[in-house]
Amino acid sequence: MDTTLARPPVGQLLDGRYRVESHVARGGMATVYLGTDTRLDRTVALKIMHAELANDEDFVRRFVGEARSVARLSHPNVVAVYDQGADGRTLYLAMEYVPGQTLRALLSERGRLGPREALDIMDGVLAGLAAAHDAGLAHRDVKPENVLLTEARSVKVADFGLARLLAGASHTKTGMLIGTAAYLAPEQVAGGTADARTDVYAAGIMLFEMLTGVQPHTGETPLAVAYQHVNAVVPAPSGLVPGLPAALDTLVALATSRDPDLRPADAGQFLRAVTEVRHGLPIADLHSTPDGRSTARRAAVMPPDLAAPPLSWPTEVTPPGRHGANMLPRPPGGPYAAPDEGFAASALTGRIADSGEPGNHTLVVSTGAPPAGYDTRHSHYPGSREPGLQRWLFSRKLGYLVAGLLAIILIAVLVWWQSVGKYTKVPQIGGLTATTASIELHNDGLKVRNGTGLFDNSVAKGDVVSTVPAMGSRVAKGTAVTVIVSKGPHMITVPQVTGGSLAAARKALRQAGLVPGTVSNEPSATIQAGIVISTNPAAGTSWPQSKPVAVVVSAGPPVPNFVGQDKSVAEQWAQQNNVSLNEVADAKSTQPQGTVTQQSPAAGGAFTPGQVMTIDISNGPPAVSVPNVDGMSIGQATQALQQLGFQVNVNQVGPLQKVFNYSPSGQAPQGSTITLWAGL
């Protein structure tokens, strides 16, 4: 497993496009983050698959195929899938970001909803599911957590992560239940089959929960809840909230029939039934033949008699089990008779208005009597049945079938638990901090035990080095995993290696457990060339074993300064030190001819035997014509020569001030001395 997938990806840029901003929620298959599409500059929801699933090639292949199928859905009541991709081993979906809250959050806040509000939400849920069913997809995990309610009061169905193409979704892997126990259809529990009708069943359970504030089947374990889905009927909502119209009882019974053939064939059919109830119409026969004749298996039909006078719907929602003064009264002999009175022949018509909503925003529904009492020992489906079917439902054969089915389920669960369920794998937490590693282990159902720390040159101090049992090992849930944390790299004292050769210094460093590093040369007037001058860090320093130690070696005496000296001095030094000279003429220098004007390497630098040293040598100053100063006074001659850059030397041989001779004549180097003779 790629351990980097275990690290929080906040701040990561996926595929160079999607920046992960913040954590939103974690689920069974993926973690959802708020993200930004940097290319289109829009906010998206990023669903990043868990690391262990990203390493399952079969899952990845199905994930890519199913993501493409879901992305083809374009419906206002379905959360849109924009993109799918993989950044290294990070598998992700880019989806529409829907601000608002989930239906689960609304139910937690309000307890239960009024009939009109519940039907409004069902309208959007079923419209989204109908689009998926028409495209050949079943959601397979319909529940309030996957219904998003936007700030604009629209409804969107989210998380088609469990969806499968209907053409190949008749069975899941042996022993595996896909979905949430509270909303599983009986056929999912019994045989693993999942199609559009299982989504209808889950939608019916969700309608029951919205109307009553509780789930119809509860238990201490998911298995106990699944058992009730197979063996118990979903009760009428009005049994928990007296006063609910019988039409709502009929809708719930229609969708939650334990026989999938008696349910609406898909979400579109159930949506039509909900729409008819919202308009006060009887629920149409969903299994009629093209010529209008009904088959033997029919959905429940609303009682036709609407002659009774209308009653107002209560304006305040009362929690389940409480009877407030504002609750719709049960008229004597009216539609809310005891369950064993069966369907009443008469009905009431009333206006449904949720608490807090204007009174004129209503919908008219039939409030006929609820179906006959639900017998949890047998399958009581609403609507008429053939006598033969009734005899079979109450025969011993059904009992034997149910008992055999339960035995198979229990054996399958037991085998699954012994072979897979009670085991897990030690997650790949190497390189994580001790705190993060502890959270990962607890999330996988494992206990944490702190082991003795170890020095490790490759793992930073405080990060996990290893575990006992080893990472990736198969262990029972609840096993204590010992976490070994790095104490940082091994620290070694740098030995004293100065005064010896480079080879001896490298050997001493290796023997101490350190790594010899770069070698640099420095000139020294006192230390012979090739001898180690120092180390970096200095001897006696505690140094990480994995970091190299730099060595400084003497290059011998530094190069002298030859600038301003005659070139013969440089030539003599070069011969003595086995250095080759490269003499370059300097025609621009005013220095005397043969004077060194520049050198490389510079004075004080290091050199090695055999090295080439370059010196620039002056050609001397330029020659200047000497004027004829004979017969001039000493002052006039001196001024004329100095203006040309010459130096003047006067020899007075008599009392007169006239020049009678000078030397040199003709031309002389600029700056040279001209001697004058005067006095005769």
Using CA atoms, how far apart are residues 314 and 324, in angstroms rounded to an integer? Answer: 10
Query: What are the angstrom distances between the C-alpha of 335 and each of 283, 305, 321, 366, 490?
Result: 18, 11, 19, 11, 84
Per-residue pLDDT for 162 more than 60?
A: no
Instruction: Order across the sheet with 447-450: list the strands.
Output: 447-450, 480-485, 464-468
Per-residue pLDDT for 206 more than 60?
A: yes
Using CA atoms, how far apart are residues 200 and 204, in angstroms rounded to an integer? Answer: 6
191 and 281 in a single domain? The answer is yes
- Establish whether 141 is a catalytic residue: yes
305 and 364 in a single domain? The answer is yes
**What are 510-532's pLDDT values in tens digits?**
998 899 999 988 888 788 888 89
Among left, alpha and beta (phi > 0; psi -120 to 50; other), residue 11 is left
Structural domain containing residue 28: 3-96
Q: By mean pLDDT, which of 99-108, 223-232, 289-298 is the weakest?
A: 289-298
Using CA atoms, how far apart are residues 184 and 628, in angstroms rounded to an integer? Answer: 126
512 and 582 in a single domain? The answer is no
Asked whether 251 and 210 are in contact (CB, 8 A), the reply is no
Output the CA torsion 90→94→98→100 (10° steps).
0
Q: Which residues contact 56 (CB under 8 A, 6 or more apart)?
A: none
Whether 330 maps to a domain, the answer reads: no
Q: By mean pLDDT, which of 4-13, 78-87, 170-179, 315-324 is the weakest?
A: 315-324
Count the domains in the chain. 7
Using CA atoms, how far apart are residues 283 and 275, in angstroms rounded to an integer? Answer: 9
Tell me what pLDDT residue 282 has: 54
Mean pLDDT over each residue of the chain, to the nearest integer: 76
Report the pLDDT averaged over residues 637-653.
Answer: 86
**What are 428-479's pLDDT values in tens digits?**
888 888 888 888 888 888 898 888 888 888 888 888 989 988 888 888 888 8
Which sign, positive or negative, has the C-alpha torsion 227, 230, 231, 237? positive
Interior angle at CA 332, CA 330 and CA 334, nearest 5: 70
Closest of 178, 60, 78, 92 to residue 135, by C-alpha: 78
Tell me what pLDDT residue 242 has: 92
Tell me what pLDDT residue 642 has: 87
Whether 350 maps to a domain, the answer reads: yes
Point out the catalytic residue in the list 83, 141, 199, 616. Answer: 141
**What are 219-240's pLDDT values in tens digits?**
888 888 888 888 889 999 999 9
Tell me what pLDDT residue 417 has: 66
**What are 385-428's pLDDT values in tens digits?**
344 554 555 556 666 777 778 888 887 777 776 665 668 888 98
Tell me what pLDDT residue 350 has: 30
The distance of Cα 21 from the centroid of its chain, to the nearest Å, equals 9
Per-residue pLDDT for 148 more than 90?
A: yes
Burial letters 92-107, b for 16+ CB under 10 A, else e: bbbbbbbeeebbeebb
515 SS3 class: strand
149 and 84 in a single domain? The answer is no
**What are 549-569's pLDDT values in tens digits?**
999 988 778 888 888 888 888
Name the pLDDT band for 178 (thresholds 50, 70, 90): low
More confident position, 16 or 66:
16
More confident position, 580 or 622:
580
58 and 186 in a single domain? The answer is no
Closest of 174, 186, 261 to residue 216, by C-alpha: 186
119 and 134 in a single domain? The answer is yes
Tell me what pLDDT residue 418 has: 62
184 and 235 in a single domain? The answer is yes
Whether 413 maps to a domain, the answer reads: yes
Number of Cβ within a 10 Å radius of residue 540? 10
Tell me what pLDDT residue 174 has: 40
474 and 509 in a single domain? The answer is no
526 and 502 in a single domain? The answer is yes
Per-residue pLDDT for 482 more than 80?
A: yes
Tell me what pLDDT residue 366 has: 30
In this structure, the chain runs to a length of 680
